[in-house]
Amino acid sequence: MSITKICCIGAGYVGGPTMAVIAQKCPQIQVTVVDLNQERIAAWNNEDVTTIPIYEPGLAEIVAEARGRNLFFSTDVEKAIDEAEMIFISVNTPTKTYGKGKGMAADLKFIELCARQIAKVAKDNKIVVEKSTLPVRTAEALKSILDHTGNGVQFQILSNPEFLAEGTAVSDLLAPDRILIGGDTTPEGEQAIQSLVAVYANWVAPEKILTTNVWSSELSKLTANAFLAQRISSINAMSELCEQTGADVNEVARAIGMDSRIGPKFLKASVGFGGSCFQKDILNLVYIAKSYGLHEVADYWEQVIIMNDHQKRRFSNKIVQTLYNTVADKKIALLGWAFKKDTNDTRESAAIYVADDLINEEARLTVYDPKVSFSKILSDLDYLESRTPGKNKEHIAAAATAYEACQNAHAIAILTEWDEFRSYDWQKIYDSMQKPAFVFDGRNILDVDQMKAIGFVYLGIGA
């Protein structure tokens, strides 16, 4: 089946960029991204493409090229479902905050709502593609809903997990390591798989398109994120040992990274990982393992999260202890709020938790991040419900520049590895600060010798 019309439900961090690239690379396919959030859709449709709701290098240019030609953003969900031959589901799957599995299991209520709406609207056969990260065997539940509440039409369910890293999502889409497509092993399932293979084949080499059964595809996404997060927690665990023994974690990472069996990636010690996927997916994996009675497996993966939480607490504790065991009424500049560079995504950012700890200690915080608004910073803190929103606003402010944030500060905490931080006039910043001037480099991005020569008391991770 040759696909001519695609619908994607969900205009977020996955759906928006993925569909933009498909539209750019497949001008013969009409791609419609739908979302009930009118404000978000309006932002995607704004004439000024620099104001689209997601910042990713190169994304605005791709949207500008394809939008209005064969890429459309709409709130008319039913019309897009009705017209499409292939429907991607790319809605949020947060961790449950209620009931059975609270704090671990994926909340699939949005996925189920999508399935019921597709079933209600569809008048002809559809291929439904899971793009959201989902627990293994979710396709089975989707198929049950579609087959039993539909209009007698036939649905094929495919799993096509995303493997995007925020900050490099566009390059990941344009030149992926692999495209993974899982589906039924029936003739109809194989035909559906090949329909999606043909879409990606417009720009992805055939040897990079892997096809599996649907369960393997679903589990592969959780496994990939678990392995990546595990590496970060592993090197962070070693960073604490390095600090106690006099070893340098950067030198350790370089030494083990040269082993071809290990490799150098994801061995950068830091204040901890964040983002929408790692913690959520590992907790989901833990829940799945527990639900099958695999408690040792669950304990193993849960330790990755425990180590990450410990690293964030350890960093904020180090700031307090170094500043003579009190930060009350001291100004601390936080450089970076996004969970990593080249994105405006703040979900599970280490900065949120470090700031929360420091506010508990009555510190006065000033934040600078080149892509994150002050309203977003406040909402991130308010979401934790550690204190009243008014209390957060009393203790935190935003600055237009890093130089302004650091003016009269007792200490600086670097929490995002933005490239611009490396090129600052650090002598100028030092001269504007209270003395002694402390720098807590939570990303190990600055030159230690240079910072110490200027006069800073410099503390990185694992050295």
121's CB contacts (< 8 A; 6+ apart) are 78, 81, 82
Tokens coding 112? 């189920």
Tokens representing residue 432 in the block: 């504007």
Q: For residue 218, what is the enclosing H or E element?
A: helix 214-245
Measured between alpha carbons, how far is 396 from 409 in angstroms, rounded to an integer?
13
CB atoms within 10 A of CB 287: 22
Residue range 343-385, pLDDT digits in tens = 999 999 999 999 999 999 999 999 999 999 999 999 999 999 8
Question: Cα separation of 182 and 192, whole Å?
Answer: 10
* Region of 315 on the Ramachandran plot (φ > 0 left; ψ -120 to 50 alpha; else beta): alpha
Task: Give the CB-side neighbour count of residue 388, counting CA atoms within 13 A.
Answer: 3
The C-alpha angle with vertex 273 and arms to 267 and 279, in degrees rounded to 5, equals: 120
Secondary structure (3-state) at 168: coil
SS3 93: coil
Q: Strand (E) positions, 336-426?
A: 364-368, 396-398, 411-414
- Going by the DSSP 8-state scheme, the letter that residue 385 receives in this structure is T
| Element holding 192 (H helix, E strand) | helix 187-200
Count CB atoms within 10 A of the CB of residue 439: 25
pLDDT, tens digit (0-9, with 9 covering 90-100), for 163-211: 999 899 999 999 999 999 999 999 999 999 999 999 999 999 999 999 9
Task: With CA atoms as reference, report the closest residue to 279 among 256, 301, 247.
Answer: 301
Residue 150: pLDDT band (50, 70, 90) is low
CA 414 distance to own-chain centroid? 19
* Cα(115)–Cα(325) distance, integer angstroms: 54
Is residue 229 within 8 A of residue 282, CB to CB? The reply is yes
pLDDT at residue number 134? 67
> Does the model's pTM come out above 0.85?
yes
- Checking phi first, is residue 373 left (phi over 0); if not, alpha (psi -120 to 50) or beta? beta
Taking the chain, what is the end-to-end CA distance rounded to the nearest angstrom? 58
Q: For 416, which DSSP code? A: S
Q: Which helix (H) or strand (E) holds 133?
A: none
Q: Are 411 and 439 in contact (CB under 8 A)?
A: yes
Token duo for residue 15: 């759906």
CB under 8 A, 24+ apart: contacts of 288-294 = 288/135, 288/136, 288/222, 290/104
pLDDT at 108: 80
Cis before residue 436, ω within 30 degrees of 0?
A: yes
By the 8 A CB rule, do 183 and 191 touch? no
Beta-strand relationship, 457-459 and 396-398: unpaired
Q: What does the pLDDT average to over 44-71? A: 95
Residue 71, both tokens: 């890429």
Task: Return the closest-CA partner of residue 456 out of 399, 442, 445, 434.
Answer: 434
pLDDT of residue 141: 78
The distance from CA 31 to its chain's CA centroid, rounded to whole angstroms, is 24
CA 325/CA 188 separation, integer angstroms: 66
Question: From the CB of residue 203, how many other CB atoms can be counted at a distance below 10 Å?
Answer: 15
Q: Is 277 tagged catalytic?
A: yes
pLDDT digits (tens, 9 = 90+) for 90-140: 988 778 888 888 888 777 888 888 988 999 999 999 999 998 766 666 777
Query: Using an 8 Å Cβ cutoff, are 177 and 224 in contact?
Result: no
Active-site option among 8, 26, 242, 277 = 277
Residue in this structure with the two tokens 């599995």, named with its chain if needed = 101
pLDDT in tens, 10-52: 999 999 999 999 999 999 999 999 999 999 999 999 999 989 9
What value does the mean pLDDT of the chain take?
94
Please answer whether residues 18 and 8 qualify as being in contact, where contact means their C-beta atoms are separated by less than 8 angstroms: yes
Residue 451: count other Cβ atoms within 10 Å of its Cβ.
19
